Structure 1
Amino acid sequence: MKFDYRFQHILTLKEKEKEEVSSLYEESVRKFEQAAKTLYELLKKKETLEKFQSEKLETGYHIQKIRHHQVFIQHHEKAIQEWQKKVISTRNEMRCWEEKLLESNIEVKKYEKMKDKSYKYFKRFIHVEESRQMDEMAAIQFQHRKGN
């Protein structure tokens, strides 16, 4: 007798769904890491620019070059603000996919647990059936011996 899990199709679908969500989660993690890395590089560059400007102010620098440098820093700050928004957005997306992945894991575990219980019940049934058949065969053999 072969074990057939009645919800195998659903379990297979849930496992496939889990794999898809997992790949989307991994992609969102990659996007978040890339955005965070870009933001970090921009912040590092801003720090370097401010340090450079500070040094030039101490040693003397043309007003025109100071203004130009200040405009460049302001442009850089706008880029930083945009990337901060992107980092927040990608972090939220990553968390959303993480929650969906957790839900998918739970769903798969539920069906796997149901399958395990069903398989244990099947094994117990087979064992009881085999015992019953052995008892029947023993009773038949006993009847034949007793009749001879």
Structure 2
Amino acid sequence: MKFNYAFQKIVDLKGNEKAQAEWMLSAALGELQSEEKSLHELLFKREEIGSALQRAAQQSAPISEIRSLQSYVEYLDVCITKKENDIQSAHRNVHHKQERLQETMLDEKVWLKAKEKSSEKFRQESLLREQNELDEMATVRYAVQAR
């Protein structure tokens, strides 16, 4: 006789939920990496423009060029601040997705443990049934031989 778990569909569902939570965490990590890469690009651009501004000031460049570079540096500073906020938000999202994954993994583990216990109980009952049948066959043989 084969073991058939009554709640197998729930176990499968919990497995699917875990896989989905893993995928969502992966997507959140990808988003975080993208935001961090974007921040590094902005910081690099800020450094380049800052250097260009210093060279322009040292070389007595026209005031309009210096003002333009200064405005661009201020714009980049605002972008960097926004990007840092985006990164903090992405970190919170990753943390939330990690917590969700832990919850789904725990939930799946509970159901798998219940299935394992049920399987073990089924196995023990099967062994007991088989032993009883063997005992009964031995008793019948003994009774037939005793006659």
Structure-2 separation of matches of 1:78 and 1:43: 11
Bigger mean CA offset, 69-78 vs 6-15: 6-15
Structure-2 separation of matches of 1:118 and 1:10: 14
**Aligned AA for 1:127?**
L
- CA RMSD in angstroms comes to 1.3
Bigger mean CA offset, 44-53 vs 63-72: 44-53
Moved over 3 A (4+): none
**Corresponding position of 1:86:** 86
Unaligned runs of 5+ in 2: none
SS of equivalent to 1:100: helix
Structure-1-length-normalised TM-score: 0.93
**Aligned AA for 1:15?**
G
Query: In the TM superposition, what is the alpha-carbon distance from 1:40 to its structure 2 partner?
Result: 1.0
Query: In the TM superposition, what is the alpha-carbon distance from 1:59 to its structure 2 partner?
Result: 3.3
**Aligned AA for 1:38?**
S
Structure-2 separation of matches of 1:132 and 1:60: 103
SS of equivalent to 1:60: coil
**Identity over aligned residues, as a percent?**
26
**Aligned AA for 2:98?**
E
Write the mapping of 1:1-148 to structure 2, written as runs, cut at 5 A: 1-147=1-147
Structure-2 separation of matches of 1:12 and 1:5: 11
**Aligned AA for 2:144?**
H
After superposition, the C-alpha distances for 1:19-62 in whole angstroms (9 at most, x for unaligned) are 11221111111111101110111011101211222233233322
Structure-1 separation of matches of 2:44 and 2:102: 35
Structure-2-length-normalised TM-score: 0.93
Bigger mean CA offset, 41-50 vs 58-67: 58-67
Query: In the TM superposition, what is the alpha-carbon distance from 1:92 to its structure 2 partner?
Result: 1.0
Unaligned runs of 5+ in 1: none
Bigger mean CA offset, 128-137 vs 80-89: 80-89
**Aligned AA for 2:7?**
F
Q: In the comparison of the two structures, how many residue pairs are matched?
A: 147
